[in-house]
Amino acid sequence: MPNNICQTIFAKQYLPNNICQAIFTKQYLPNNIYQTIFTKQYLPSNIYQAIFTKQYLPSNIYQAIFTKQYLPNTKPDRSWKPLNSMSRQPIITFYFVLVVVRYHHRFLLIQEPKYGQNWYFPHGKVDPGETLMAAAVRETLEEGGIPIALDGILRIEHTPVKDKARFRVIFLAHPLDDTAPKSIADHESLRAGWFCREEMKKLPLRAQEVCEICDYLASGGPIYPLRLLTDKGSPFGCPH
């Protein structure tokens, strides 16, 4: 930008002349000067980002800035935010649990009231304010009628989908007592039962992963400790 235009702008007391020269001769400015300019809200956010990510602005953009009156006489732009206060939009994430309840060589399956009334492991969404482990215990009791204790984690899945994400934890558990599986249908499930691997072959299963998980356990696949899931700030402790 020509010096006479710089002088015209800064004679109106938008910015000190030395800062004018630093910007328009395409020199970098130190952080303290950046803060001085933009805490006074002289420039709109798009120009803020261009200068302070240290990208050069070509002359036509300089002209566009000032002929479009980005530096108004009375009302400074208040739409910008300093880079260190800018944050990304939160990612909408849905949390699910799947619970593999094993009793000797049998597994607890529930018959779903939807999805073709197929058989599947107890599962469901995590409620707001609920932990993943609490959700696993609750869903198994609601759908299978069985009180359980969690033994470990088979897998943790995180699946991004466009601007959302799906997070699922597959737990391994065992029954706490000899309570019979659910036999009265409701909105959670139609019924539940214990099935061995061979019996599962005769059932209409919701997904092939039912058999895959059973085979994984039969082959001695690793079971990960529950302590992998913990609250922020929890002590690390020593592995057992």
Give residue-wise pLDDT tens across range 102-121: 999 999 999 999 888 999 99
Calpha distance 99→108 (Å, rounded):
9
Q: Is 104 left (phi over 0), alpha (psi -120 to 50) or beta?
A: left
CA distance to 85, 135, 150, 229, per residue, from 131 (Å)? 30, 6, 13, 9
pLDDT in tens, 5-32: 445 444 544 455 565 566 555 554 555 5
End-to-end CA distance of the chain: 68
What DSSP state is assigned to residue 181?
Answer: P
pTM given for the model: 0.64
User: Of 121, 123, 27, 39, nearest to 78 (Cα)?
Assistant: 39
The total number of residues shown for the chain amounts to 240
| Backbone dihedral angles phi then psi of residue 126, each to the nearest 5 degrees | -85, 130
- Model confidence at 37, pLDDT cuts 50, 70, 90, reads low
Whether the CB-CB separation of 125 and 240 falls below 8 Å is answered with no
Whether the CB-CB separation of 141 and 107 falls below 8 Å is answered with no
Calpha distance 66→159 (Å, rounded):
46
pLDDT in tens, 189-237: 999 999 999 999 999 999 999 999 999 999 999 999 999 999 888 888 7
Q: Supply the Cα-derived Rg of the chain in whole angstroms.
A: 31
